Chain A
Amino acid sequence: MSTLHTEEMTLNMGPQHPSTHGVLRFVVRADGEVMREAIPDVGYLHRSIEKIAEKVGYHGFMPYTDRVDYVCAMFTNQGWGMACEKLAHIEVPRRGEYCRVIAAEFNRIASHLLSVGAMAMDIGAVTPFTHAIREREMINDLIEELCGARLTFNYMRIGGVAWDLPPGWREKALAYLDHFDPILEEYNALISWNKIYVERLANVGVITPADAINYNLVGPNLRACGIKWDIRKDIPYSAYPDFEFEVPIGDGHWGKLGDSMDRYVVRIREMAQSAIILRQALAKIPPGPVLAKVARNFKPPAGECQIRIESGRGDMGWYLVSDGTGYPWRVHVRTGSFAAMGIIQKLSAGLMIADLVTLIASLDVIAPEIDR
């Protein structure tokens, strides 16, 4: 009997597709429901942010950094601030560093909440998403009190942060943390250990530790493969050496090491760790100024520098070259989502179409961060 002649189908997933988290595009070659390959096509959200930096000057670029990754804008703020400070040898006041850590860790929780919520929604459960968004709204309320914005914060400045914690804010933040700890348990009961959910995530999109390193994965995606690498611990910056916390790594409990479930669980555990850091930071925060004296016409000496911070999506690198004028000569941002997009093509072979959605969500790819 001769085999039935079948053809591969080329599917165009995105740039407008409900689950591509913004404007991603994948060219999917599929044989029925099974994918042969999904080729990521980046560039739909390119806004020349790095070039803008060369035109608006050092202080003026801070609001633009929010747009690099609008889901965790605190980290991009902090990265830009730290790069400039390193170049100009500015010492940030202690309280300023603590404010940065507090804002950033709250932002990390918010970012991970969005990530795990969107992941559940991509798998078809809408309820966890709304619950996660509800919690994220409360964090947004706190951050709004801090800096007046809910999404593009523009909270940090070169040399510290724009505003000190408002009166009574510390108590509100602590009250929120008390409310947040049981929420994680509630969330786990709601979706994390759901049989269908685990079946959908376990053993899907398995990344070996060697692949993770070769493809330059960072952050939770890397740690889910069992590699303990967290910039906050390994190359400490800001006030992080003052705090004790653990770095959760994937253990392959539900399937193979480095599968989508591991990436999901690592994010859930990181939220708990962020809450631990926040409690310590809110308890230990020293008095004093929050902003170092920085010239209005900020001109760092000529030279170049590279800093790394642990963003919600992992190791974020800021590379800055100054020629001694009031405008940067070159700025480059190295983001986790761009690296994560690279491995999708390798992982996609043999997965189902439904799994591609899971894979994108589990790598926590955020469209603006890919293209800048």
Chain B
Amino acid sequence: METLIHNVIASGAFGHNASPTLVAAIVIFVMSAVVFLGVAFPFAGIVSWAERRVWARIQSRVGPNRVGPQGFLQWLADGVKNVCKEDIIPDEADAPLFKLAPYLVILAFILPWAVMPFSSSLILADMNVGILYMTSVTALTVVGVLMAGWASNDKWSLIGGIRSAAQIVSYEIPAGLSIFPVVMMTGTLSMQGIIRGQGWAPQHWFLFANPFTFVAANILYISALAEGNRTPFDLPEAESELVAGFATEYSGMRYLFFFMAEWGNLFIIGAIITTLFLGGWQFPHVSNNVVVMNILQLISFNVKVLFLVFFSMWIRATLPRVRIDQLMTVCWKYFVPIAFVNMIGTAVWVAIWPDGNAAMGYIMFAAGIALTVVFVQRVIYYLKRSRMEVYFNPTI
């Protein structure tokens, strides 16, 4: 980032006496705008389309396929439709808070993109507290959701908001504790630092570094799903119970903001897991050209993240919803103790093998492959029994 600013000043685009602060401000502003408007929002939109298509395939339906090729532009059509809709604010609602709530939720979705490590150079701000920043700003969602639930002045919304608060605050704890093992192993909170601590090969990923990190990765993923209000933890907006939860009274674009944040959060969940446990953008050094390497790293990062995004959709289409008491039981009775054990276990592990244990990496990786093979066999078993012509014609 700093080199970029120096280059911009050196290129003379702003005159030779330009104030570095001003140039930096402009560059940061433009870069942020590009990332937020050019990446974050379209991504949320495209995910909404992709999720509907994936869901439709799993549910043996067709899904949106009318607007654009394969219905790809459906998200734009939906956006335009929602912008044109009336923005209804109920009479009894607390209007200022009611209006503010969706912006807070969308803010919690936008802010993490500042530390999103797309490649070794493509990152807006490589803060030394990157991962901490990421977890703290995503937790802003709870303020927005609770505010929406309270300001709507609707009992169903209120229950949704309270559920959301209980859920997000609770799952922050196992999620935070599951980040510690990685931080202990790398000794840094910076996103790039954590990724540089891993290699491109799976046995060098933190997922397979030792048994504790493997468990931590799973806990973190499940907790992240819970924080993102995703099935099986979508209680705050449980359609069959709470009508639409905290979003019951919202309409038009404000309503869409909540769901854009939800869809966009899938990428953030995927990015956190990828950064911490799946080697981030790491790619074998195949070229000395920085641009080529950066593109390959970008692809590496996105493939991993998009796989996790797809996995979240898959889970959402498969699992039913848990009940609030079961949700809390899972968090406090199982995840929190296990996360603590992980932390202590990793600390001991790091004390014994400060540079990691290469053999363990291979063993864990082999075990991971075995697990994957069993899983894939299971999936293939059911695929063979299903009717291919119904499920496997993606171009209907």
Contact = CB atoms under 8 A, between A and B. Distances in A.
Asked if A pairs with B, the answer is yes
Interface of A: 9, 11-12, 17-19, 33, 120-127, 130-131, 134, 182, 186, 189, 191, 194, 196-197, 199-200, 352-355, 357
A127 B58 contact: yes
Contact of B323 (A12, A134, A355): A355
B217 to A, nearest CB: 21
Given A126-B59, A134-B60, A121 B240 contact: yes
Contacts of B394: none
Given A123-B320, A125-B319, A130 B241 contact: no
B239 interface: yes
B162 to A, nearest CB: 8
A18 B239 contact: yes
Interface of B: 55, 58-61, 155-156, 159, 163, 231-232, 234-235, 238-243, 317-326, 382, 385-386
B234 A199 contact: no
Nearest to A11: B155
Nearest to A352: B323
- Pick the most buried of B58, B321, B382: most chain A CB atoms within 10 A of its CB: B321
A18 B248 CA distance: 12
A195 B89 CA distance: 41
Q: Is the interface of B mostly helix, strand, loop or mixed?
A: helix
Given A33-B159, A194-B320, A354-B324, A124 B59 contact: no
A124 B238 contact: yes
A239 to B, nearest CB: 33
B324 A125 contact: no
Given A126-B317, A189-B382, A352 B322 contact: no
Contacts of B326: 196, 199-200
B15 to A, nearest CB: 59
A306 B172 CA distance: 62
Given A9-B155, A33-B324, A357-B240, A127 B317 contact: yes
A199 B323 CA distance: 9
Contacts of A124: 231-232, 234, 238-240, 319-321
B322 A200 contact: yes
Given A33-B163, A124-B320, A200-B321, 15 more contacts: A11-B155, A12-B155, A17-B243, A18-B243, A19-B239, A124-B231, A127-B317, A130-B61, A182-B385, A196-B322, A199-B322, A352-B323, A352-B325, A354-B321, A355-B323
A130 B155 contact: no
